[in-house]
Chains A and B, each alone.
With several copies, the nearest count.
Chain A
């Protein structure tokens, strides 16, 4: 994956659970494709199992989970374990959106999801360009 034409990596994207806030993840997908990634976009309302099997099928390098409805706390834990079970050890997990209801401190939110096995957690005011840059850095070389 280092040639200039080859994709920079394969990413599975989607909104977890019952979530329908699709605009944010749609434009991320657009930006990531433009930056040279292969994106398997699962869209709204994706279950953990769907994320995992899409990642297996596409031999994905990472899963990008979006969650805005405030239920990430209930819907995300367990995903890392399911990945491990499916043989996706070490696959990078990214999480972003408006994760929790109530005004918890960002550090606490971040820590909570990192503990659940997410590699990088993003707040809602992150710039699209920042996400792309981070992913490029993570998959450099």
Chain B
């Protein structure tokens, strides 16, 4: 059955729901009406969407830190430390990747082993395992909004469990979970699953509890922005159709201030346009910028410096949320103290840069924004055209022929023809644009930028340069000449 961008009927939703909640025994604990009532008892200060809408209004920039550990007591302790010592505004709780891939038994064994040995054998918080009552205790331990984090082709049970337990936002999206977090699952399947996720959020929304998806179009590993923007727009349109009214769009900082800040401005602009064009006029968009997402320097102080630079770009880009990784990112799942310390550093950068309303060279910013918008539109327009107006039908076809594509994808169905590389200033450009429907202006722009680096080094920029670029920052520089 072809998936189209149509609101799930109550019957279809109800049918899936039964299936979802029976995937693991704790699913039975979720009762939608009770969950809505529970969520209504929470103060607005704990609702993610409300806080982001407020931030957008007041110009505030909130910090978010993501953590995930297998023990619920320890996870609670983490959140408390982040709130108190890290002045953290928003909490992300990462779900372990065994749970995400439905390996509930293996996850349970790893939890048991973690408890027994006191060491950790699981890379996140297994929300499904703990269930509603226990997880509500966790979310009740802090006074600010929480997001349930992770990306997986089938995130439905995790989301049910999370939203019923006091989380009011969730990461993940259909295209990224297809292209970056699965291997053989077809796009139709992940999109169908995400229709469910968005529909669930939409139903909470209708019941008076705004729930927010944080939509990412891929990962920020040497990936040109428009590739990510286009996939983000696709998911935003899917979410809107299912009744989601508040969305956060993610930009992955990749090291060049102008490019990163421009991305934070271009993405909501172009997304807004498409929402409007397709008749979704009551959606509130916010932007979240992540920390550096490539390989980190091992040294924690170098890592912290790189994180701070990402925050600078994010404040220049006037986002609502700044995601702050930790100084131990290269090394391990971070300790809570290191996490809180990194957050404090991030916060003072937010304050210092925000206070001075820093602006970068306007010409450079304008060009960068203009190009990102043009590239994104070239892709999304083509997708809509291929779907005869239906973004999902279009996306499926576009993916087959590489009109939607990803760099370093994990899924075999992704064309994987696009290759990104840094230009002389460290901005990520298309070394190979694969089958993206770009006109000559766009292609020449990228070619030109890459050739600047070539002239500078007196040598060709090729896949070996891409390999060098993958180690950017971790080796101490952004661009190796």
Contacts and interface: CB of A to CB of B under 8 A. Distances in A.
Interface string B95-108: 00110110100100
Dominant SS among interface residues on chain A: loop
Contacts of B97: 18-19, 69, 71
Nearest to B185: A45
B410 A43 contact: yes
Interface residues of A, number: 24
Dominant SS among interface residues on chain B: loop
Contact of A71 (B98, B410, B463): B98
Interface string A100-128: 01110000000000000000000011001
Interface string A31-71: 10000000000011100000000000000000000000111
Given A20-B410, A124-B330, A31 B467 contact: yes
A20 B332 contact: no
A124 B475 CA distance: 13
Contacts of A74: 106, 109-110, 121
Contact of B119 (A20, A22, A102): A102
B465 to A, nearest CB: 12
B181 A20 contact: yes
A30 B467 contact: yes
A26 interface: yes
A70 B331 CA distance: 11
Contacts of B181: 20
A101 B333 contact: yes
24 contacts: A18-B97, A18-B98, A18-B103, A19-B97, A20-B182, A22-B409, A22-B410, A23-B221, A30-B467, A43-B183, A44-B411, A71-B97, A71-B121, A71-B122, A71-B123, A74-B106, A74-B121, A101-B121, A101-B122, A101-B333, A102-B120, A103-B332, A124-B330, A125-B298
Interface of B: 97-98, 100-101, 103, 106, 109-110, 119-123, 180-183, 221-222, 295, 298, 330-333, 408-412, 463, 466-467, 470
